[in-house]
């Protein structure tokens, strides 16, 4: 007894199982994790090493190069990129996208870095290297905290309390605070005053360090009881610090520290980073989701918590939401669910309209059952609800009803011929189960390269293969169990006279058209070839875009001043931009559309609010704004206005204002990397490349990532004079750091908080270059002080603002933004021939690489095309196994590329583009073409072998027999994808268009091309027919 017979004879058990699947599937749907995107593995780690006071050249030579050498020993390395800036080395380690298990690789990286440190090759006075591999944490919810009348310390206290509350939420993983200012206890002195008293900074440091102690005094035993001794000495208050007695070396008299220095509590100056909310100083709280959690549930919990906390804090403390991924995900999931429901409704309507109520109801019943079973299996496989998995269900929707249509059609035809319902159901299942399984497996195999692709984009879309496979195989199981059972019990068909004309007028027209082409196969093949070549010739007019901008109502603004710009200057630029946004873009009573709110991070990038965003490393010249708009439709307009304002008011500012991008991270749409050894020769090439890019239509904001050269003051120590004065180079360096940057001499403890005590000169001395020569240098050996000009000379020099290397070659990236209506692929297409010609004139060892969106697109496309042979082999084996025929397999394989005709015409007609998602649509189309062709060829074989018809009649009879099922499959797929076309957004629009128009043309291929090719390859003659 096979599974079909078992399900029919045990119908009660079958119905109970189906009800369980229905209820369990719906219950699973309500509990499944929800996210905007499925995500991918972030294969990047950073290594930051601080080398105080070192120039970019010294940082490159003594730190970056040493670390890069050991990093390149890692076999899984894709490329290593380093940025050497004044006083800091930042190295980004990128692992091959084929690697899945990163923990052993990061452990190996740390061992390599530790090896470099232990070898003694790195300078002694560095801080680090610090390895950070936690680049995958996404903070989907970002809250802003402002406090009118509150200082940073008070706001930080509020932020700490809120953070503790948020960490208690079940779906919260991390909560980090951004924009907090580090507190300091400053001891500011005047060099002239110290000199009058015979004091030095060294003496002050020693006094403070010896006075402020936390050292246990030991224990004492009294009457068999151990008692701890705790000597006092640490500073209990700022006043204690001011009352510290300093002994004067000349008179041995004591004087209070407060009498010779200004002691006060403040914040680190200059600030390392700042944060603003709608133009007001504030802090940000970034919340990340636990793995496998539900972002929507987290968002609701956060909203409830913040509403409760808002009532508890005094007037002036306000909370706002800057990033709200939970709302975006909720809307996105709801939109896709609505699209799915619309598609289901459309398919149901098609079934009921063309098949009648009973047959239509039987076929349509497959849809909800398959969906519920698919959701159940998706949950068991750890697949959540996101725009990729939901779109996969929409794509599978039109294909999965094909199994039910073919099965019910076959049962109905047999019943019309006089067979009993049970016999008709069992015979149809026996006849079709293998061919339908083969069709489902080949369609699934067409999606296999997406799953096997070794790239971030492959991981991003891998659930497409899983979900489509689950849906198709679930449909097949139900088609050979549930559908026959329902047909047996509910389908009532009158027996028809086999000699009567059964075909409709439309079928008669199809018969005549098919017969015309069967008699003239050469004409049909030549015409089809011309159409194919013509459409391929027009493919160059289809715009090529890797991933489109998101339709999310968010604009990102990245600002970069020249390297070395003070953070106060960067903040002033942000202030002007925020004033413009508030006055000209923010919504108000008169302006209904525009900017709602924003957050600005100065001196660093924003928290990682999206998986495809890589935050900028902390640096005083950078700033980043997240700007929320009223709608996703006006993000381009707003970003263009911000860009124009910055271009008009800040000539030395590099700005990137754009709607948030989809897909993997791309820093610039157009990027040309020039690599070599000598910076002078590189920049000579760079200047020519910039000029060429400027001549290409559609480019703007052309720049490079090295920036201009910056000034530095070199303190050239005269070693002979220094030795005579008893001063070492170390004495000079320590004195300079203490006088100018400040020196942490001790710590002030307040509760569980530790605040460094920093000594420095008064601002008038620190910021006056004319006084630098007279700076006192303290000789630690003799205890004497000498002016700096006595032992060193000050020389002004120019240096690179930063040195960037890629795989240990100095590399300059020339980048450009795009005007509206232009694509990176088009611009690069003009550049590459020119670059190849120019490279022939460059010295040996100098070369170019294309980066940006085209590079990412090529990597993604290549990762899929590399796996196509595997899918092709599986499809080939399945087809040959199904038909045991090379010629029939060849017919199907030849039909696949011809579907591109409809794809190209559809994209051109709809004004859409060809991108990565379009490629996935083409692969989907191939699976559908294979599916239809298998069923038709299988029917031809059945007409010949079992019904004994001659080949001429068998071809036409089989084509007419499969005419309605194929048309219904096409109609359900095409109409079911309309909601994805019009409601799925820019990301899914080209995929839907590719499948819809490709399938419309592919239907002609299946109904005409397959019979004609069968007639040619099997030499079936229609002379006299």
Q: What is the pLDDT of residues 236-252, one digit of tens each?
A: 788 888 888 888 876 77
**What pLDDT, on a 0 to 100 scale, did the predictor assign at position 797?**
79
What is the band of 502 on the pLDDT scale with cuts at 50, 70, 90?
Answer: low
410-437 pLDDT, tens digit each: 888 888 888 888 988 898 888 888 888 8
From CA 904, how far away is CA 913, in angstroms rounded?
10
pLDDT in tens, 879-893: 888 888 889 888 988
What is the pLDDT at residue 589?
84
Q: Give the confidence band of 233 by pLDDT, cuts at 50, 70, 90.
A: low
pLDDT at 663: 67
Query: Over the chain, what is the mean pLDDT?
Result: 85
C-alpha to C-alpha distance for 547 and 665, rounded to whole angstroms: 10
- Per-residue pLDDT band at 767 (split at 50, 70, 90): low
pLDDT interval class at 837 (50, 70, 90) = very high
pLDDT, one tens digit per residue, over 163-201 is: 999 999 998 999 999 999 988 888 888 877 877 777 777
Q: Residue 496 above 70 pLDDT?
A: no
Cβ atoms of residues 328 and 36 within 8 Å: yes
Q: Is 820's pLDDT higher than 70?
A: yes
Residue 916 has pLDDT above 70, yes or no: yes
What CA–CA distance (Å, rounded) separates 309 from 313?
7
Provide the pLDDT confidence category of residue 498 given band limits of 50, 70 and 90: low
How confident is the model at residue 781, as a pLDDT? Answer: 66
pLDDT interval class at 756 (50, 70, 90) = confident
Per-residue pLDDT at 821? 75
**How would residue 913 be classed by pLDDT, with cut points 50, 70 and 90?**
confident
Among 482-491, 742-751, 993-1002, which stretch is predicted with the lowest mean pLDDT?
Answer: 742-751
Q: Is 383 helix (H, G, I), strand (E, B) or coil?
A: coil
Which pLDDT value is given to residue 230? 58
Confidence (pLDDT) at 231: 60
Whole-angstrom distance, CA of residue 453 vs CA of residue 862: 8
Contact 327, 303 (CB under 8 A): no
Q: Provide, rounded to the nearest whole percent, the portion of the chain with pLDDT above 70.
A: 95
> Does residue 72 surpass a pLDDT of 60?
yes
Lowest-confidence pick of 389-393, 579-583, 648-652: 389-393
Contact by Cβ (8 Å): 46, 92: yes
What is each CA distance from 503 to 363, 507, 509, 957, 964, in whole angstroms? 22, 6, 10, 11, 11
Q: Which residues are within 8 A (CB) of 361 and not within 5 positions of it... i.e. 6 or more apart?
A: 351, 352, 490
Q: Report residue 765's pLDDT band, with 50, 70 and 90 as the boundaries.
A: low
Residue 213's pLDDT band (boundaries 50, 70, 90)?
Answer: low
- Closest by CA to 402, choosing from 325, 347, 324, 457, is 347
Strands (E), 86-163: 88-95, 127-132, 141-147
Q: Does 6 score more than 70 pLDDT?
A: yes
pLDDT given for residue 930 in this prediction = 82
Which pLDDT score, from 0 to 100, does residue 914 have?
A: 87
Contact 795, 726 (CB under 8 A): no
- Across the range 271-287, mean pLDDT stands at 92
Mean pLDDT within 714-738: 80
Cβ(133)–Cβ(102) below 8 Å: yes
**What pLDDT is stored for residue 943 in this prediction?**
85
pLDDT at 876: 87
Q: Mapping DSSP to helix (H, G, I), strand (E, B) and coil, where does residue 82 land?
A: strand
- Mean of pLDDT values over 509-536: 89
The helix (H) or strand (E) run that includes residue 917 is: helix 916-945
Strand residues in 807-920 grouped as ranges (E): 809-818, 847-850
Contact 1007, 514 (CB under 8 A): yes
Mean pLDDT throughout 524-536?
90
Binned at pLDDT 50, 70 and 90, residue 871 comes out as confident
In contact, 626 and 598? CB cutoff 8 Å: yes
Task: Let me know the angle formed at the C-alpha of 48 by 42 and 53, rounded to the nearest 5 degrees.
Answer: 155
Percentage of the chain beyond pLDDT 90 is 27
Given pLDDT bands bounded at 50, 70 and 90, which one contains residue 677? very high
- Please report which confidence band the pLDDT of residue 54 belongs to, taking 50, 70 and 90 as the band edges: confident
Q: Tell me what pLDDT residue 783 has.
A: 65
pLDDT of residue 254: 82
Q: pLDDT tens for residues 378-392?
A: 999 888 888 788 878
The per-residue pLDDT for 941 is 86
Kindly list the structural domains of the chain, giving each domain's residue range(s) and its CATH number in brackets, ordered by start.
44-132 (3.30.70.1430), 141-183+271-325 (3.30.70.1320), 184-213+252-267+710-800 (3.30.2090.10)
Distances (CA, A) of 869 to 446, 713, 797, 859, 875: 11, 61, 59, 17, 10
The pLDDT-based confidence of 949 (bands split at 50, 70, 90) is confident
Report DSSP letters for 507-527, one per residue.
HHHHHHHHHHHHH-HHHHHHH
832: buried, middle or exposed (CB in 10 Å: 19+, 13-18, 0-12)? middle
């Amino acid at each position: 007894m096979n599974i079909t017979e078992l399900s029919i004879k045990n119908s009660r058990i079958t119905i109970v199982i189906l009800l369980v699947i229905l209820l369990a599937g719906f219950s699973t749907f309500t509990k499944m994790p929800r996210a905007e995107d499925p995500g991918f593995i972030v294969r990047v780690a950073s290594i930051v090493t601080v080398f105080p006071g070192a120039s970019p050249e010294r940082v490159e030579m003594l730190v970056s190069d040493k670390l890069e050498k050991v990093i390149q020993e890692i076999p899984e390395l894709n490329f290593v990129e380093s940025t050497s800036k004044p006083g800091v080395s930042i190295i980004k380690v990128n692992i091959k996208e084929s690697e899945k298990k990163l923990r052993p690789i990061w452990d190996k990286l740390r061992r390599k870095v530790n090896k470099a440190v232990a070898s003694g090759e790195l300078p002694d006075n560095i801080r680090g290297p610090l390895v950070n591999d936690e680049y995958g944490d996404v903070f989907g919810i970002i809250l802003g905290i402002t406090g009118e009348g509150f200082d940073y310390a008070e706001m930080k206290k509020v932020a700490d309390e809120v953070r503790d509350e948020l960490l208690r939420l079940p779906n919260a993983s991390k909560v980090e605070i951004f924009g907090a200012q580090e507190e300091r206890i400053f001891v500011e002195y005047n060099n002239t005053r110290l000199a009058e008293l015979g004091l030095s900074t060294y003496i002050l440091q020693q006094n403070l360090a010896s006075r402020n102690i936390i050292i246990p005094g030991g224990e004492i035993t009294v009457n068999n009881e151990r008692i701890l001794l705790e000597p006092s000495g640490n500073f209990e208050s700022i006043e204690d610090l001011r009352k510290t007695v300093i002994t004067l070396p000349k008179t041995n008299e004591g004087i209070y520290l407060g009498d010779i220095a200004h002691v006060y509590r403040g914040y680190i100056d200059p600030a390392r980073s700042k944060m603003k909310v709608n133009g007001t100083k504030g802090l940000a709280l970034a919340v990340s989701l636990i793995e496998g959690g539900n972002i929507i549930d987290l968002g609701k919990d956060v909203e409830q918590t913040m509403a409760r906390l808002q009532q508890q804090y005094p007037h002036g403390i306000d909370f706002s939401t800057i990033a709200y991924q939970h709302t975006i995900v909720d809307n996105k999931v709801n939109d896709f669910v609505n699209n799915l429901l619309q598609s289901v409704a459309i398919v149901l309507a098609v079934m009921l309209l063309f098949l009648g109520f009973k047959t239509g109801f039987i076929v349509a019943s497959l849809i909800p059952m398959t969906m519920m079973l698919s959701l159940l299996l998706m949950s068991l496989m750890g697949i959540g609800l996101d725009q990729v998995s939901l779109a996969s269900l929409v794509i599978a929707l039109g294909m999965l009803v094909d199994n039910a249509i073919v099965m019910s059609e076959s049962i109905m035809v047999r019943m019309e011929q006089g067979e009993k319902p049970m016999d008709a159901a069992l015979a149809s299942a026996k006849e079709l189960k293998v061919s339908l399984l083969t069709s489902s497996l080949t369609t699934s195999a067409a999606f296999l390269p997406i799953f096997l692709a070794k790239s971030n984009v492959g991981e991003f879309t891998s659930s497409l293969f899983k979900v489509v496979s689950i849906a198709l195989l679930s449909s097949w199981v139900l088609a050979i169990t549930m559908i026959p059972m329902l047909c047996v019990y509910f389908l009532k068909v009158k027996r028809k006279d086999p000699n009567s004309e059964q075909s409709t007028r439309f079928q008669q027209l199809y018969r005549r058209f098919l017969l015309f082409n069967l008699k003239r196969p050469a004409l049909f093949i030549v015409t089809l070839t011309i159409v194919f070549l013509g459409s391929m010739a027009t493919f160059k007019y289809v715009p090529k875009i890797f991933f489109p901008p998101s339709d999310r109502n968010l604009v990102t603004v990245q600002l970069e001043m020249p390297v070395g710009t003070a953070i106060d200057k960067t903040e002033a630029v942000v202030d002007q931009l925020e004033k413009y946004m508030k006055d000209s873009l923010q919504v108000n009573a008169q302006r209904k559309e525009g900017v709602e709110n924003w957050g600005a991070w100065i001196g660093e990038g924003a928290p990682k609010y999206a998986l495809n965003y890589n935050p900028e490393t902390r640096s005083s010249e950078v700033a980043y704004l997240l700007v929320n708009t009223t709608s996703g439709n006006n993000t381009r307009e707003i970003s263009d206005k911000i860009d124009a304002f910055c271009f008009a008011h800040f000539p030395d500012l590099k700005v990137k204002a754009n709607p948030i991008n989809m897909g993997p991270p791309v820093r610039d749409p157009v990027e040309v990397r020039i690599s070599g050894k000598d910076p002078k020769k590189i920049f000579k090439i760079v200047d020519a490349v910039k000029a060429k890019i400027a001549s290409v239509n559609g480019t703007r904001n052309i720049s490079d990532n090295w920036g201009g050269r910056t000034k530095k003051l070199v303190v050239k120590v005269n070693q002979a004079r220094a030795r005579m004065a008893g001063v070492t180079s170390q004495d000079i360096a320590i004195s300079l750091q203490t006088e100018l940057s400040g020196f942490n001499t001790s710590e002030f403890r307040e509760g569980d908080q530790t605040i460094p005590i920093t000594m420095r000169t008064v601002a008038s001395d620190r910021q006056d270059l004319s006084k630098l020569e007279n700076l006192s240098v303290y000789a630690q050996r003799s205890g004497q002080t000498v002016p700096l000009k006595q032992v060193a000379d000050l020389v002004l020099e120019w240096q690179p603002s930063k040195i960037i290397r890629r795989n240990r070659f100095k590399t300059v990236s020339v980048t450009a933004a795009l005007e509206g209506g232009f694509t990176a692929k088009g611009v690069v297409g003009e550049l590459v021939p020119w670059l190849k010609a120019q490279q022939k004139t460059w010295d040996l060892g100098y070369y170019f690489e294309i980066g940006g969106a085209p590079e990412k697109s090529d990597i993604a496309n290549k990762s899929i095309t590399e796996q196509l042979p595997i899918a092709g082999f599986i499809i080939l084996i399945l087809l040959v196994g199904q038909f045991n025929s090379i010629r029939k397999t060849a017919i199907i394989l030849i039909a696949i590329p011809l579907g591109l005709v409809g794809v190209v015409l559809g994209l051109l007609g709809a004004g859409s583009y060809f991108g990565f998602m379009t490629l996935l649509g083409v692969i989907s189309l191939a699976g559908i073409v294979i599916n239809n062709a298998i069923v038709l060829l299988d029917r031809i074989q059945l007409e010949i072998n079992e019904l004994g018809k001659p080949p001429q009649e068998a071809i036409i009879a089989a084509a007419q027999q499969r005419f309605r099922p194929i048309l219904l499959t096409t109609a359900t797929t095409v109409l079911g994808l309309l909601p994805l076309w019009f409601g799925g957004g820019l990301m899914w629009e080209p995929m839907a268009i590719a499948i819809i128009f490709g399938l419309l043309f592919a239907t002609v291929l299946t109904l005409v091309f397959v019979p004609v090719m069968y007639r040619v390859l099997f030499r079936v003659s229609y002379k006299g027919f």
